[in-house]
Amino acid sequence: MTTAIVVLAALGAGGWFGYTKYKAVKAKQEAAKGNPAAQVPMPTAVQSAGALDILTKVHQAYTGLASLNVSGTSVSVIDLSAVTAADLNPNQSTTKKKTTRRPAGIPKAMTNTTDVVIKLARPDLYCIEGTMAMEAGRNKMTNTIATWSQGGTNFVLMFFGGGSYKNFMTVPDRRAAFMMNGQAGGLAMAIPQLFFDETEVMNNLIKEWGQTDDEAVDGQDCYTLTGKIMGQKLKIWVSKDSYMILQSQITLGAPISDTDIEAATSTFDTNTNKTQAQLNQEKVMAKQQAAMMTKIRGTITETYDNIQTNETFTADDFNYPVPRGVRLTASPFAATTQSGSSLEARQRNTCINNLRQIDAAKNQWALENGKKAGDLVTEADIQPYLTGGKMPTCPSGGTYTIGKVGENPTCSIPGHVLP
């Protein structure tokens, strides 16, 4: 009798354990699927052909213009409430308390409303400005990103927190400028690429286009196309009259595949001096961060309601008014594109990239916590914003100083300095 009870208990316990494990596995599988609204079914052959025909006409419409002047609004509404400390740093302690708690300094929701203005003229004139009103938790901030060229030098200006963080720099070419200005809005990068017939970045990142049901935007009849950008659902509305893009929307929360990560790495990583080991490590970290995407919900919707074509411009129309007291610095790409493959040069480049990472983490921490220029910053403050959740190390053995808000981080090795 006792033996029977023990066996029944074992079967019962085994059955319960198996069911609990099954539920945990199913929950993990469901989480990995991400947001159903962000999923994009594979287009049919007819849908793909329709999208290709429309995209060809869109491309012709933009490249056939002498000039373009558009303005509109980008609205981002992001829900981060499901993100945990373990999502930000999968390598931390696996205790339940630490892995399930909310990460320090990360708000549950973020909204960002950006007024975008794009002016383009041939052969090489452009001015793109995004003025953002951001709310992250209790914190509010106004930021400006602008990039422009009067036909020679390419300039980028970042003016965050009403001026608490300022960065005014040159970049080597239009592609670098447009990539940086993508922070002001997706179409703020895509429309100039279409105009100047430089769509390599778009082609690398956007896949599986298909034509979907026609819809209207502000009373204008539009074709609609749906595709994937880094795995996320992308939908655009194209005017049936002009073939101009009137609206786009990205729906977040879809998984990011290894193929997506490879495409992003090959598109955005301009450092030719990195070793294969460094590239492999970056991809591992990118995969860890990509896993978090399935827990994020939200949309980024951009609408362009004022489109003027073939206006007459002069070079002076593309001279952005830089605020007084803002100092011009060298290109941040200079160190990553310079020639030479010596160990010293590679170590210097790696260190400078580390300093950029520290600076970005510090700026993000300051932004989300309402800090101002001159406020103190500790390593613990920025740790959640660093890759892998820990400070990088200088390959030459230098010591990093984080610096206050508004100051560049520094390394003790001469020459290891942000441009």
The reply to whether 254 falls in a domain is yes
- Pair 291, 401 in one domain: no
Q: What is the CATH number of the domain that holds 176?
A: 2.50.20.10
Q: Are residues 258 and 354 in the same domain?
A: no
CA proximity to 358, closest of 336, 372, 377: 377
Q: Is 325 a member of any domain?
A: no
Whether 30 is covered by a domain: the verdict is: no
Residue 191 belongs to a domain: yes
Residues in the chain: 419
Q: What is the pLDDT of residues 207-233, one digit of tens each?
A: 899 999 999 999 999 999 999 988 899
Give 322's pLDDT tier (boundaries 50, 70, 90).
Answer: confident
DSSP letters, 133-172, are EEEETTEEEEEEEEEEESSS-EEEEEEEGGGTEEEEEEES
Q: Is there a contact between 406 and 165 (Cβ–Cβ < 8 Å)?
A: yes
Cβ-based neighbours of 45, under 8 Å, separated by 6 or more: none
Q: How would residue 360 be classed by pLDDT, with cut points 50, 70 and 90?
A: confident
State the total domains in the chain.
2
What are 171-197's pLDDT values in tens digits?
Answer: 888 877 877 665 545 566 789 989 998
Tell which of 289, 318, 347 closes a domain.
Answer: 318
β pairing state of 297-309 and 245-252 = antiparallel
Whether 314 and 372 share a structural domain? no
Based on the fold, state whether residues 122 and 185 are members of the same structural domain: yes
- 23 is a domain residue: no
Q: Residue 398's Cα: distance from chain center in Å?
A: 30
Classify residue 21: in a domain, yes or no: no
- For residue 16, tell me if it sits in a domain: no
Whether residue 333 lies inside any domain: the answer is: no
Look at residue 297 and tell me whether its pLDDT is greater than 80.
yes
Q: Is residue 362 over pLDDT 70? A: yes
Is the pTM higher than 0.75? Answer: no
Q: Are residues 314 and 355 in the same domain?
A: no
Which domain covers residue 345, as residue numbers? 339-411
